[in-house]
Amino acid sequence: MSSFEVRHTDGGSAARQSVLTTSHGEVETPAFMPVGTAGAVKGITPQQLKESGAEIILANTYHLILRPGVDVVEKLGGLHKLMAWDRPILTDSGGYQVFSLSSLTKIDDDGVEFASHVDGAKIYLNAEIAIKIQNRLAADIIMCFDQCTPFPADPAQLKKAVERTIRWARCAKETHNNPNQLLFAIVQGGTDPELRTYCVSELVKVGFDGYAIGGLSVGEGHDNMIKTTTHTAQHLPEDKPRYLMGVGTPADIIAAVGAGIDMFDCVLPTRNGRNAFAFTEDGPLRLRNNAHISDAEPVESACDCYCCRNFSRASLRHFFNCGEMLGPILLSMHNLRFYQRLMAKIRLALKKGEFADWAAEESKKYESG
């Protein structure tokens, strides 16, 4: 059984605290999903993910098609078995990666043909194929195939992408045949409010289990992103989960929660962790800096992660500077825990009816980026 229940709202904003129930358990929202693109969160074990506080993770259809292939995943017992993860999983349709990573050789209203970034092989993907593959991967939440446009994009290009996204969403709804999976549609339209409103209205007519806002965090900047998110979210159904794709920084997340967003994913915690960048409540730390040569302090004294309980900044700097793989692993663990601690604080503020005031004060910590 699946359901979505809004339990707390905020008088000073559109924020809400909810519970999303899937076939592999409940997810408290607002929630952050660590990204396991090819079936694993880089350098992190499933047990460590659980210890970070993650209740749901994301994998990507595009990458899993290329390697190891849907047949292999299916023979292994589905994505949960491949990833050794017994909690909810969401799979992106692969639309963003097709348009951002691959060399497109053909695109029309029916689908796209692209060259694999692995071996150059020609692959065809459309709305029907993307859903059938995700049905077989057996994630708890799957996404409609969509066309993500770059920023900036001319009006004609945006309009055509929106029409295709709507057309493909209708096809996805007709194709979807796994009752254990929730199907989310994706709203496109760049930063054009009229196109966003139109896309929402057409997708809601079809009816989906949840709605994602796509096509943001592609260069439009924080203010444009939040303005577009706020506009789009207010037109989405109140009784369905709202997912802002590929976002983002702590400041992005706090502002987007205030706009009514329930779910987030982003590679920043692990990508930045692999590059010696730590998120903290006092601002970012760059652990390669000479200032940390003999720094005996943990990355963040208030953090309860394994990294902060056992290692100093000096230790981490040493690991990074000598190429020891433990450095990226430890800092990824800290960053993932930082994000989950942030989401827990957001949910607590909502439950206490204090989110608007809390967010105004908390956002000041991250104004400098």
**CA–CA distances in Å: residue 176 to residues 55, 310, 316:** 25, 47, 47
Q: Which residues contact 307 (CB under 8 A, 6 or more apart)?
A: 298, 299, 316, 330, 331, 333, 334, 337
- Tell me how far apart the alpha carbons of residues 3 and 23 are, in angstroms, rounded to a whole number: 10
- Tell me how far apart the alpha carbons of residues 128 and 339 are, in angstroms, rounded to a whole number: 35
List the structure tokens of 263.
């779910």
Q: Is 265 a catalytic residue?
A: yes
Please identify which of the residues 92, 146, 262, 295 carries the catalytic annotation.
Answer: 92
Q: Is 110 a catalytic residue?
A: no
Q: In terms of Cα–Cα distance, which of 9, 30, 11, 12 is closest to 360?
A: 12
- Tell me how far apart the alpha carbons of residues 42 and 186 are, in angstroms, rounded to a whole number: 26
- Tell me how far apart the alpha carbons of residues 244 and 210 are, in angstroms, rounded to a whole number: 11
Please identify which of the residues 140, 146, 262, 265 carries the catalytic annotation.
Answer: 265
Cα-flanking dihedrals φ and ψ of residue 39, to 5°? Answer: 105, 5
Residues annotated as catalytic are 92, 265
